[in-house]
Every structure is written in structure tokens, then in C-alpha cells.
Amino acid sequence: MRPAKRDLVSIDDLSSAEIMELFRHANEFREDLRAWSHLCRGSIMATLFFEPSTRTRLSFESAMLRLGGGVITAADPQTTSAAKGESLADTVRVVGGAYADILVVRHPQDGAARVAAHYAKVPVINGGDGAHEHPTQTLCDLYTLWREKGVLQGLDVVLCGDLRYSRTVHSFAYALARFGANIITVPYPGFEMPQFVLDRLDREFGVRASAASVGELPGIAGGENSAAYLTASRPHQLALFTSLSPVHLERIDAIYMTRAQRERHRGESTANYPRISRASMASEMMRDARVMHPLPRVDEIDYDVDDDPRSIYFQQAELGVPMRMALMAFQLGSIRLETGADAVGAPARQTAAVRGLRCRNDRCITNGEGKLYLGAEFWLVTEWPPRLACSYCGQEIDAAFVGSATTERVHRHDCSDARRIRSENRIFFESEEQARVAGFRPDEPAV
């Protein structure tokens, strides 16, 4: 019997216990990669890649072949029906039928993986959707760090470079917070961690930011770079978290370097981009640190750093095969996890009713091909004041007005009449004009 469909769109789709159990299976697979060709014999994986890829696509294909399954691939969007205008929804409905038993999708639009998971009958794995998330890269990153350090909780991990557009950084930050690691952000100026990522870290994991002093890291910290220390707030730390008293770090456990995501930039300059060199590695802070990178690198890590035993980015890539073997074997029902499948990392989410509201992220699939077949869909992040998040890309917006579906009157969110509307009758708007267009009358002022 085929197991219940489990997609991996976000790192939240796996519980912490499931992740740790997958690590243990990956360790078993890694001992002899050739010993598992019986596990998924007869299964077919399809890789649907609408963006360039080397490691992600090939490691998935290698993983399935080592499990004894078959592979079909669409690696160039110009040779698929997407070039003729076919939607992602139609593509996955066709391929995720008799063609394949599991799909790996990479797409340039944020939220595309959730669309694929909704329309496909077989499990879908997000191989990277725009600047949104890349959960299997996060599994590989966590797995590598766990193998190197033995633990994840309490580690101090630097995220450096392009933190604005790097989907690997966003997924990794959520996972690090969930496992109790501390995060130090050292962005290239203008490419800081997006506010919606910081808001979610605070809201769901109690992680808050303070100014940070990271000492001497030649080529990385200092100058125009501003560092922030993100950690779960503890009573004894609160007094330290002020702009006058930055958290001072004397050592770090890992530095996660990212390239400038030039394919998503809008012409911004990246002159004087952070760079790890021999001088960086000589810093006392880096004595026990591991240098990580999701690859490909461009020029942000010097080649003469490669032979340093603390550089583990090629090991990250190698560990992607057993890690993805474990994930797909689980999704296809070839291995079972002892932990309960109901203990998933994402919190329960309440859908918010909206009319005329659109996601403000111009890279979201709802503002791309999804205009043809997707309606706007949001979930309620906070009730008062109302904050909504796009169900596809996670971008958050504030709803300044709340309407009643029964009276068709709209009120400012901060008035008592808005709070008296029953939750099932609330309709959310960004502006009074938006509400008027939807047929709602503004609240009449008291005489």
C-alpha cells in the first residue's frame, strides 16, 4: 500500500524528531552507498528544473539510482512545454501520474513548490523556489553541521553575504532556530535578512536580534558590515540586548558563506562583497569554526582555503546524496520513521478571508503564472493587529481594515466594532478604498 502523501515544500514539513531520525538513516546509507539498490526498485523520480542546477539535480538523481529506482528529467525549461506556455500546475498533474512516483521541482517563482504539491498526486520535494526556501539544502546543511559538531543546540553560526535573496539562508535560519542554535548575521550592505524572516524567527521561536561585535574577521566583518546576534531570549540576556551593549563574540562554530544571488538582483552593486581568505582563517575566532557554503561559489571563498580541514563545503555536497536517499526512501514508504508523522514543525495556521487583496511580492507565483488559475490565499499570522502571510511565498502584510461578511461594513482594525466581528465573518483589507471596491461600506462615525 502506498503511504500517505508527504510533501517537502518547507523545512517545516518535517518535525525535529523526523529530521534527526533521517540523519541516522543517512549515516547508514553513507556507510555503503551501493548496498541499498533494493529499497526503491521500480520507483521513478522526475526532476522538473525550471532554473539551472548542478548539485541539487544530480545528487537527487544519484540518490534515486542508488536506491534502485529510475530517473526521468526535464533540466532545460526551453525544451519543455513550459516554453509553449504550459503552467506548472498542468505539468505536475501530467508527470505526477503514470510518469513518476515522486517529483523534485525547482522553479524561479516564490511559492511554486506549494503549487506543485497541491496539484500533484505524488510526493513533491522543493528543489528551490525563487528566493523562498530550499529545504533539502537545509537538511544537508544541518546534517553536515551535526556530524561535525555532534550537536546543534547552542552553536554560534554566522550567516554571511547575500541574506536577502538566498533561499538557502532563509530555510537554514528557521531550522537553526528550531534546534536551538544562535545565529549571527553579517550581510553585505543592502542585502540584510528580510524583515519577514526576522519577524517569523521572533514569533515562532522567540528569537530576537541584538547588535553584535564579532571581533576581527578580515574580509568578512568590520567596515560597513553590521552584525546582529539572533538568539532565543533568556532572562539573563535581556539586559545585554541593547544598542549600547552589543553581544561580543570571541569564537564561532561555523560560518555559512553565500554568493551574491545575481539572478535575483535588480542591478545592485556587489563591489567589496565579503570574502573568506587565508587571512580570515587565521583569525582566532575561526580556530574551531567550520566553513560552509551551499555552492556554487563564485569568488566569495578563495581557492587556497579549500585544503584547510575546516572547509567542509565539498563535504556538504557529498553528504547530499545519502541525505536525499533517506528523504526519498521515507516519502516512498521504503523506510519508516519511529517518530509520529503528526508532530510536524509548522504551527497550525488559520486561513484569512480576503477580497481584492494580492500578495505584494512581485516574485510570488500568484503574481506570475498563478494569475491564470490561483486565487489570493493568506493565513492569519497575528489577530490584533491583523497581520496576514501569503500561503504560497510567506510574504507578510498588515490588514488595516476589517469588514463584516454579514453587514458588509468595514472598520479600522483598532476600533471596538472590528473586534466584535465574529472570527468566521471577518474579511481583511489593506485600505478603505480596497474595501469600497469590494462592496463594503465604511464605518459611519458617531454623531
**What would the pLDDT profile of 84-130 be if each residue is shown by its tens digit?**
778 999 999 999 988 999 999 999 999 999 999 999 999 999 999 98
pTM: 0.88
Which three three-digit cell numbers place residue 208? 530576537
265: confidence class by pLDDT, cuts 50, 70, 90: low
Which three three-digit cell numbers place residue 359? 500578495
Question: What domains are defined for the chain?
Answer: 11-133+318-331 (3.40.50.1370), 136-311 (3.40.50.1370), 350-442 (2.30.30.20)
- Give the pLDDT of residue 229: 82
Range from 125-129, 338-342, 425-429 carrying the lowest mean pLDDT:
338-342
- Give the pLDDT of residue 340: 60
Is the separation of the CB atoms in 132 and 11 below 8 Å? no
Is the separation of the CB atoms in 144 and 399 below 8 Å? no
Range from 83-92, 262-271, 413-422 carrying the lowest mean pLDDT:
262-271
Q: Give the residue, 422 or 345, on which the prediction is more confident.
A: 422
The sign one gets for the Cα dihedral 331, 39, 144, 111 is negative
Tell me which residue of 2, 17, 55 sits closest to 321, measured CA to CA: 55
The sign one gets for the Cα dihedral 279, 281, 284, 286 is positive
Is the separation of the CB atoms in 320 and 55 below 8 Å? yes
Mean pLDDT of 221-244: 56
DSSP-assigned beta bridge partners for residue 378: 352, 390
Half-sphere exposure of 343 (CA within 13 A, CB side): 10
Q: Give the residue, 399 or 228, on which the prediction is more confident.
A: 399
Question: Could you tell me the strand order of the sheet in which 247-248 lies?
Answer: 247-248, 207-213, 227-232, 182-187, 156-161, 254-257, 290-292
Is the separation of the CB atoms in 20 and 135 below 8 Å? no
Is the separation of the CB atoms in 406 and 416 below 8 Å? no
Range from 92-106, 236-250, 371-385 carrying the lowest mean pLDDT:
236-250
Which three three-digit cell numbers place residue 106? 525547482
pLDDT > 90 fraction of the chain, expressed in percent and rounded: 60
Chain mean pLDDT for the chain? 87
232: confidence class by pLDDT, cuts 50, 70, 90: confident
* N-to-C CA span, the chain: 68
Mean pLDDT of 76-85: 70
Query: 221-228: which pairs have CB atoms within 8 A and are 24 or more residues apart?
Result: 221/186, 223/272, 224/189, 224/272, 225/186, 225/187, 225/188, 225/189, 225/274, 226/187, 226/189, 227/184, 227/185, 227/186, 228/184, 228/185, 228/193
- Give the pLDDT of residue 240: 41
Q: Is 245 helix (H, G, I), strand (E, B) or coil?
A: strand
